[in-house]
Amino acid sequence: MQAQPINFDEEMENWHDYTVESRREIVSLLRNIGEKNQLLRMLVRGESDVAVTSILDVEPDEGYMVLDCPISRDQTRRVLAAHSLQFETSLDKIRILFSSDGAEEMEYDGRAALQVAIPATMIRLQRREYYRMATPVTNPVRVHIPIPVELGGGDNTFPLSDISCGGIAILDPKLMLGDTPGMIFKNCRIDLPDGPITTDLEIRSAQEVTLLNGKTNRRLGCQFVDLSRGALAAVQRYITKLERERNARLAGLG
């Protein structure tokens, strides 16, 4: 059973305080991404259909940018049929998110390329603590949470969905944890690969997500409460490890 990691639209909403609306700044960011050959993850149908592309050119007067076509022709066809596309990349370790209304095929320097409208807005996350990384689905990190008596009691285990230096998201398929923002769970243990850490967790958001098998699950966004410096360092190391693994995969696909 596999859950889609983070809902892209939710991420855009979560980070609306970091929205870039200046046309000049957006064009500059896109050009820098292209000039530095930064790869973009292009989500065609969310995390279930992801292509890797790059920016070949930016034409602000015409209102579009030129992207490389995916290696797979079948995936290119799905991109051209999509009504909206979402993009994620990084520039100088700053995470950047944006979306666009579909793509058209064009010829660029004698080869097939994609013409995509320059986005009206972008999300630019300047602080590393807000950089959230999706965690492995096939062998997920486990989070052990002591459940209060009023919710049934006991110590139960939940799969980790994503992690940042500010908190985590977990999946609660049996709806055992409630969904009340502000609820705090004490002495939770997160079994990171390099060793467990313990922290209190506060529920900040709850969302119903659809699994690839069509079933639904509940995703809870949780904030660390009084995380120790040692535990924070362990989280940072794990995020760096995930980032390196993802960059290696992207480089292999480029």
Domain assignment present for residue 3? The answer is: no
**What are the phi and psi torsion angles at 35 (to 5°)?**
-65, -30
Torsion of Cα atoms, 9 then 14 then 15 then 21, to 10°: 60
104-108 β-sheet, strand order: 55-59, 64-68, 111-117, 104-108
Q: Could you tell me which residues are beta bridge partners of residue 87?
A: 42, 98
Q: What CA–CA distance (Å, rounded) separates 163 from 143?
A: 12
Type of residue found at 215 = K
**Is it the case that residue 19 has pLDDT exceeding 60?**
yes
On whether both 65 and 23 belong to a single domain, the answer is yes
Mean pLDDT of 226-232: 89
Give the domain CATH number at 155: 2.40.10.220
Q: What is the pTM of this model?
A: 0.52
Any idea which residue has 């398929």 for tokens?
173
CATH of the domain at 26: 2.30.110.10
Would you say residue 2 has pLDDT above 60? no
Domain region containing 98 = 8-126
**Confidence at 95, pLDDT banded by 50, 70, 90:** confident
What are the structure tokens assigned to 206, written together?
């709850």
Strand partners, 99: 86
Domain boundary among 126, 148, 170: 126
Look up residue 104 and give its two tokens: 């058209």
